[in-house]
Every structure is written in structure tokens, then in C-alpha cells.
Chain A
């Protein structure tokens, strides 16, 4: 993962309006363990994002964000709260973040929001699947209860909380056709682009299973690859000047690239370890890159036109 960081840093020097992806791989977490903030100063920082964490030394108790590399997708109960049900970080990467209860993420500077990948932790997933002594099995006694467990994501800009939020269902049992009911198990993209610019994010939970002590469902979720773009726009920006477009993204089969003008160029596709996967010439006749044979995951597409570089993160589904 160090490679990736190096590559990203190198790319950043070329990229003017490219994405910033908080992969959390820059935080040193031993395999199958987690950092609960006991030795941090109330937060973790990765790339441009700060993940607040409350640690009470007297009680050896933490809440807020935990950085984890745990892979236990089986064990139920709160002792396994820091394992993602997906079994790893996004796309098999080791690190991801787990959040407990309402919490925020602060950015080091103002950003343009894109989104992040989310999944349940094993504790919450199994609790919704099986029920436990405190929380109900989703669907209830008959299996027909219209249960849900969702995340509301608000943004802060200049200290003001947005009225709108992005709602993401970590589990949804409200379908008329019960076979469509689901609990999120895989890393799933949450699009935040509708929220626009932000200084920080606020995450809150809502559940249909509410009791005397608030939400019964364990209020956890896992996050990875928080993606933003810088606000700085540059007239020399390749994407701007050439009106560069790469779509669809995420994609399953191919990428279409279009731009203004007749220049030819080279498109290079790297995986997250920095290995060159594809190297193709592109011109106005050949603007399609076939991705059918690629494994699912995140790639970086680097385009060179007249020694002007442009890099775009590509998600293969």
C-alpha cells in the first residue's frame, strides 16, 4: 500500500482537478486488529480527512471512529464490532474505518464531495439477520415488519449544517416483495455529490427498532475510500480545457473517453498497487477502453495528451 501512496503523491503533482481518495491505508494497523484511539489525540487523520474518536482512558472505552483491518465475518456480538461484514476494506484492501454512534468527519480544507463506500459491520449485520437479546431480527416475529436501518449524511459548510441529507439504507425490509429485503453486506457506493461543497460530514442513524434506550440496532457502519475533489479550478486543467469526459464510471464493461479537439494521446490504467494494467493509444476514432477482463476494483486511469496529464479514478464493478 505504500506504493499506492507514493503513486498518489506523484499523481497529485500532475493532477489539478482529480479526486482525493481516503483509502486509510496510510494508517499503520497490524493485520486483524484495530486502533481504538487509545494512543491518538482524539482523532485519526488519513489524507485530507480527520476521523474523530473519543477515548476514555479511565474506562478503556472508545466511541466514534476506529481504524480496523479485522476480517471476522462470522462472530456475532459486540466483541466483533470492528469487523466489516465484507471481510476486508473496499476491494480487498486491508484498512477501513468503523464508526459507532452519531459522528463526524472533518476535512483539512473545503472539498467537493463525491462519495464513499459503506457496509455494515459484522455485529450489526448479524444482529439484524438473527436478532439478539437487545435488538430485533429484521422482519420481526412474522418476517413482515417493514424494518430499516439507515444512515443520514449531512454536510457542514461554514459551520452550518445542510438541511438536505443523503440517506443510505444499511438494511431495508420495507419491500412489498419480501425477497427484495436486504442487509448491506458488500461495500456499496454512497453518492454524496448532491451535497456539493463541504467542510465536514455528519453521520446519524435511524432504525425501525427503537426501544426504551433509543435505537436497539447496533449503531455502527463501516466506511472506506471517502472520495472528494479539491475546489481549486485551474484554467489549464486538462479536463476543463479539453472538456474531458470519461464515462460510465463505475463501469462493468468499458470506458468511453471523449474530448474536444483532434489530438491523439495515451491512456494508461494502473491498479492500486501501481502496476500498469493497460496501455492504449487513444484518438477520436478509438475512444473506448475495454475493461471486461479486469477484476472488480478501483483503478487509476492516466491520460497523456501532448504531455498534459489527467488522472481519473475508475471503479470496475
Chain B
């Protein structure tokens, strides 16, 4: 890897010697963790949630945040329990979760529990609907979720403390201390939270109230970042993120009791180096990721620990020939090893890739061509291309489009789990296309935007575990066709001391099995993919008082692949009121949030209870 990086440096230095000077392009990437080629590829819809949105309620996990603020479906097993995402009708393992440029999904499952990621640990979350295998590799099929930390220089000492209490014995506090001068920056975040989640429920309206059992959640986490300016144009960034949590697994609605619980520990440590020159940016990063998951059920006599280690090294370089032509090239190598009940001796997987991109822009046109050549365990993965195009038709109308090839490698469990694991599995793969029309209008007091996106995606060799002679085994048996329309609306108004903001979205998604293991599932919607979803948010700010209301509609989902069983649609409301105070360098916020305002009785997953109306009250102190 080191040798390749050096080669890359020389190669780029050679090119830059012949190139023209363009300073503005380089500067914009100063605080960016991965190249802009990858963070905001041309032709894609990327929603950015900045730090102000991430800390509205400090206890929010990334899962909660996405569920409330974006149109993606979060499959949650209950308060504090496992939560995974489904973007554009794909499954949980089709979302690439990228932390500061590193994919962090479990190599065993290909997915990640988003309930274990505190939103307050991030400075920015970017959600890209639609995959891009050429840029992010395996798993970037449904969409890409980027969790970014940003650590600017020259901010002095900053301090933040959040304390929050909530219904069902919820308690959260976190501290963030930042210090930076011109050449050094440090950020420390500590978090501890717990909740009993013992919410009341009724089996039927006429039966006595009962209480959810064994649903507690506890988490302690620390994130330390350090950034050094080695030279005026070079930065070194070191991060370490440790988390320890315990999730009790509550009984289903048809289970008398449960003593099951899952311990989860992870260590994510990364080092990245960045060199910024007038025309080029070089980045190299390496990281080690350790995950420990321990499922225990003392009644059933199950104790199932699993460990996984992943190391990822990557180098990428961006070269800006001029304002019109920019190039990007990178190499990546990752090694994963895991030990689980199904393969106690351990199994490993190696992946390498070389990727490149070319971005061309001229007046009203922008385009990006990306390519990736990957290897998995020494086997070639076919060349993965993607192409994006954007055009400003008028000042107020923008058209965006992209065509991508996407793939997902089988996970370690798919390949090696005993019994059933199938080492002959092929990667899932397929093409996706999308087209967006976006209009935006602006005046002194208001701004308005509306977009409509149509997408189409096919995935072949979709891996399903199907029954065999005596046990289940994964097969490349299915073919899934997803298509849909996404609409987004945003309107902002500022008059005097009043500010008004309205955002909303409506998604229609069909995601059907074109080929299936049994005939009855053909042309049927995938389970837990709502055909319709809508969300809206209205926020009013007057001086230091802010009141917002969010509403979320999730359409009916099927719970069986033959679509013979389903869960009803539900609507959730969230009301949030916040008041800010400031005195010299100190500022403070107090907030009250009401979740499930309308006390809707709903289920996200069959036989899993969800809480009714609940409250959260918190205070936040800042020093700057």
C-alpha cells in the first residue's frame, strides 16, 4: 500500500507540473473527509443534515434521525432495539454506511444496527438515495449513508453538555469538548445513556394495561479526534471511537417473557492524511474496526458471541486540471476476519479495488464518469461503471440523471455459516437509473424548491436463504425490480423576527421479486418495503423560541413474500419546542419533545410492540 501511495504521489506531481493553477477548487475540500467525487457525485440526490439537525434531541440515534427526517424506511424492532434501513426498496445490507470515508457495515451481516450510532457523535450526515458501486464498492445498492466528522482549526475552546430525561426511564447525557488553534485540533465526545423502555400497552382496548418487559438499553461511548497540521498543506487526522452497549430483547406480542439480550462493543480507529496542493489533493487513510456481538438467552441456553475485525486502507488523489476537467483515482484494500457460532474457526475475506473518476463541467453542464475494478479473495469482480449528468435548463430548473452499476458481495455468514453457508455464491449485481427534475425559486424573504425523482433498479443474483433438504442455505435465486417516484418540497420564509420552514416528501416505491424461490412470490412486493411513505416538517422560529412539528406516514407493509399478510399503515407526529438563552460566551437551550403525539398504536415489525405517546425534556449548555 505504501509503495502504491508513493507511486501515486509521483504520478500526480508529474501531471500537476503541466497543469494550470486553480486555487479555489482545492480549498473547498479542506474539511471534507472523502473526495467530493465520492461525497457528492454528479447526478445524485444527496440530503445533508448538518450539526444543528443532529442535536435537536441529543439521544437520537442515526436510525431515529433518518426515520423522522428523510423518506427512508427504518425497520425498527422497538424502542432501543435493532434498527436497519431500507432505501428505495432494497434490504438493510444494500445501504453502504460510510464513516469518514470508511465503510463500517459488519462483514458478517453486511449491515449495521443504526440504533447504536448516536447522531450527536456526528457533525454531518449525508444520505444519498440510490447506490453507486463504482464509488463505494460492495453494498452501495439502495443508497449511501455518510457519517462525517469535521474538525476545523482556530476555534479556541468549545464546550457542550447535553442532559436529557425522557419517558420510560430514559436518561442521556453527553459532553463534547473541542479545542483548536492554528495547527492542532482536538475533539472529545463522551456519552452515556440508558432507558428502561418499559412502556405501557394494551393487548386490546378492554384488557388491563401491561408493561413492556426486558426492553432496556444502555450505551457508553467515546469519540476522540485529533487533527494536526504537519505542514501548511498537510493534515493528519486520528480518530478513535469506542462504544459499549447492551440491548435487552423484549418479548414479542406472542411471547410470555424474554430474558434475551445482546451486548455490542465496537472499536473504530482511523488515521488519515491529507495533502492539498493548488491543483491536487491526495488522501491516504487506514483504519481498524473491531466488532463484538454477544447474543444471550439464558432460558434457551443460548450464548452466541461473534467477533469481527476489519482493516481498510485507501489512497485517493484528485487532480484538477482546470475548472472544466477534474480527475480522481484511488486504491483500496480491505481485509475482514470473523469468528461466530456458525464458523468458530474463523473465516476471512479480502477485497481490493482500484477506482477512478473523471468530472467534466462546462457552464450549464456537469458530468461524472466513475469506474471501479475490484477483486474479492483474488477473484475479479466485473468492471463497475457509473455515469452522472446534470444540466441547468434555466436558472430555476435543473435536471439530474445517473446510471450506475451496483453490486454486493456475499457476506461471511452467507458464505460460511454452518449449516447452510454457500461458498459458491456470486455477487448480487444490477443496473440502476434515475432522473430528477428540480426547480428552485428565491426572493429576498423566501426560497422554494421542489424536486421529483424517478428511479429504476434491477438486482440479479439477489441472495435469499431458502430451505434445502435439511437446512436453509443462501442461493443467488432471486431477481428484484425496484422502481419509484420521490418528491421533495421545501419552502422557507423570513419576515422580521419570524422564520418559517416547511419541508415534505412523498415516496412511492414498488420493489418486486421478478424471480423467486417459489412461484407465489413472483411479482410480489418485498416484505417490509412500504409502497407509500410521506413526511413533513413545519418549523416556526420567533426570536429564541422554536416550535416544530414533524409528521410521518408509513404505508402498509407486507410481512410475507407471498403478500398474504401485512401490517397496517401508521402515522406518527412529533412536536418539538425549544427556547434558547445566551449570556456572553455561554448559551443554553431547553427543549421539550413529544413523540408519537397522536398516541398511535402501531407496529413497524410484526409482533413487536411500539410505544405510545412519550416525552423528552432536555437542556444543552454551550461555551464558546
**Chain B positions within 8 Å of A132 at CB level:** 255, 300
Q: A77-B297, A77-B300, A142-B204 are in contact. Are A59 and B419 (CB under 8 A)?
A: yes
Residue of A nearest to B256 (CB): A130
Q: Are B301 and A131 in contact (CB under 8 A)?
A: no
Is residue B559 contacting chain A, with contact meaning CB distance below 8 A? yes
Interface size class of B (residues with CB under 8 A): 20 to 34
Closest to A136 in B: B254
Q: Which residues of B lie under 8 Å from residue A41 when comparing CB positions?
A: none
Alpha-carbon distance A79/B254, docked complex (angstroms): 21
Tell me the B202-220 residues at the A interface (CB within 8 Å). 203-204, 207
CA of A121 to CA of B470, assembled, Å: 19
| B260 touching A212, Cβ below 8 Å | no
**Within the complex, which residue of B249, B257, B420 is in contact with A130, where a contact is CB–CB below 8 Å?**
B257
Asked if B46 CB lies within 8 Å of chain A CBs, one says no
CA distance A77 to B300 in the complex (A): 4
A64/B470 in contact, CB under 8 A: yes
Whether a CB of chain B sits under 8 angstroms from the CB of A63 is yes
Once the chains bind, are B418 and A212 in contact (CB under 8 Å)? no
Asked if B256 and A131 sit within 8 Å, CB to CB, the answer is: yes
Task: Please tell me if the beta carbons of A133 and B203 are within 8 angstroms of each other in the complex.
Answer: no
Cβ of A79 and Cβ of B302 under 8 Å apart?
yes
Residue in B249, B301, B418 whose beta carbon sits within 8 Å of that of A75 in the complex = B301
* Complex Cα gap A60–B204 (Å): 45
Q: How far is the CA of A79 from the CA of B299 in the complex (A)?
A: 10
B470/A131 in contact, CB under 8 A: no
Tell me whether A214 is interfacial, beta carbon within 8 Å. Answer: yes
> Do A142 and B203 touch (CB < 8 A)?
yes
Interface centre among A64, A131, A137, A142 (most CB of B within 10 A): A131
B301 touches A133 (CB 8 A): no
Could you tell me the distance between the alpha carbons of A59 and B341 in the complex, rounded to whole angstroms?
Answer: 11
Determine the distance from Cα of A87 to Cα of B207 in the docked complex, in whole angstroms: 36
> B252, B300, B471, B559: which contacts A76 (Cβ < 8 A)?
B300
Say whether A248 faces chain B, with CB atoms less than 8 Å apart.
Answer: no
Q: A59-B420, A63-B470 are in contact. Are A137 and B300 (CB under 8 A)?
A: no
- Tell whether, in the assembled complex, residue A137 and residue B256 are in contact, meaning their CB atoms are under 8 Å apart: yes
**Count, chain A residues at interface, CB 8 A:** 31
Contact with B along A62-76 (1 / 0, CB 8 A): 111000000000011
Known: A64-B470, A75-B300, A77-B297. A137 touches B419 (CB 8 A): no
Indicate if B120 sits at the interface (CB-CB under 8 A).
Answer: no
A80 to B300, CA, bound (A): 8
Q: Which of A115-152 contact B (CB under 8 A)?
A: 129-133, 135-137, 140-142
Contact B470 A136 (CB under 8 A): no
B271, chain A: closest CB distance, angstroms = 40
**Cβ–Cβ contact A56 & B254, under 8 A:** no
A211 near B467: Cβ-Cβ < 8 Å: no
Tell me if A204 is interfacial: C-beta within 8 Å of chain B. Answer: no
**CB pair A212 B204 closer than 8 Å:** no
Is B425 positioned at the interface, with any CB of A under 8 Å from its CB? no
B527 located at the interface, meaning its Cβ lies under 8 Å from any Cβ of chain A in the complex? yes
Q: Which residue of the partner chain B has the closest CB to A212? A: B560
* Residues in A neighbouring B419, C-beta threshold 8 A: 56, 58-59, 61
Give the interface centre of A133, A212, A214 by most chain B CB atoms within 10 Å: A133
B interface footprint on A272-296 (CB within 8 Å = 1, 0 otherwise): 0000000000000000000000000
A58 neighbours in B (Cβ, 8 Å) = 418-419
A214 touches B301 (CB 8 A): no
The smallest C-beta distance from B297 to any residue of chain A, in angstroms, reads 7
Q: How far is the CA of A64 from the CA of B300 in the complex (A)?
A: 22
A101 touches B253 (CB 8 A): no
Q: Which of A135, A141, A212 contacts B561 (CB 8 A)?
A: A212
Q: Which residue of A lies closest to B203 (CB)?
A: A141
How far apart are the CA atoms of A170 and B128 in the complex, in Å? Answer: 51
Bound CA span A35–B606, Å:
37
Contacts A130-B255, A130-B256, A137-B254 given; does A77 touch B301 at CB 8 Å: yes
| B152 CB within 8 Å of chain A | no
A78-B300, A131-B255, A214-B467 known; A59+B203 contact, CB < 8 A:
no
Residues of chain A with a CB closer than 8 A to B297's CB: 77, 133
Say if the beta carbon of B258 comes within 8 Å of chain A.
yes
**Nearest-neighbor residue (CB-CB) of A138 within chain B:** B254
Which residues of the other chain, B, contact A211 by a CB distance below 8 angstroms? 559-560, 606
A308: min CB distance to chain B, Å = 49
In the complex, which residue of chain B has the Cβ closest to the Cβ of A74?
B299
Shortest CB–CB separation between residue B423 and chain A, in angstroms? 11
Tell whether B469 is near chain A: CB-to-CB under 8 Å: yes
Question: Closest residue of chain B to A132, judged by CB?
Answer: B255
**With a CB–CB cut-off of 8 A, which chain B residues contact A54?**
469-470
Known A-B contacts A75-B300, A141-B203, A214-B467; the reply to A133 vs B472 at CB < 8 A is no
Type the 1/0 row for B247-270, where 1 means its CB is closer than 8 Å to any CB of A: 001011111111010000000000
Residue-wise interface mask of A (198-238) relative to B, using a CB-CB cutoff of 8 A (1 in contact, 0 not): 00000000000001111000000000000000000000000
A142 to B302, CA, bound (A): 28
Neighbouring B residues of A214 by C-beta, 8 Å: 467
**Residues of chain B lying within 8 A (CB to CB) of residue A131:** 251-252, 254-256
B215 to chain A, nearest CB (A): 13
Q: Does B442 contact A (CB under 8 A)?
A: no
Assembled-state Cα–Cα distance A213/B256 (Å): 22
CB distance from B159 to the nearest CB of A (A): 43
- 9 closest A-B pairs by beta carbon, nearest first, are A77-B300, A131-B255, A59-B419, A136-B254, A63-B470, A61-B419, A59-B418, A79-B301, A130-B256
What would 10 more interface pairs be, CB under 8 Å, given A132-B300, A133-B258? Answer: A58-B419, A59-B418, A59-B419, A59-B420, A77-B297, A79-B300, A130-B256, A132-B255, A137-B254, A212-B561
In the assembled complex, 13 residue pairs joining A and B whose CB atoms fall closer than 8 Å, in A order, are A54-B469, A59-B419, A61-B418, A61-B471, A77-B301, A79-B302, A131-B256, A133-B252, A136-B252, A140-B254, A211-B559, A211-B560, A211-B606
Give the interface of A toward B (CB within 8 A). 54, 56, 58-64, 75-80, 101, 129-133, 135-137, 140-142, 211-214
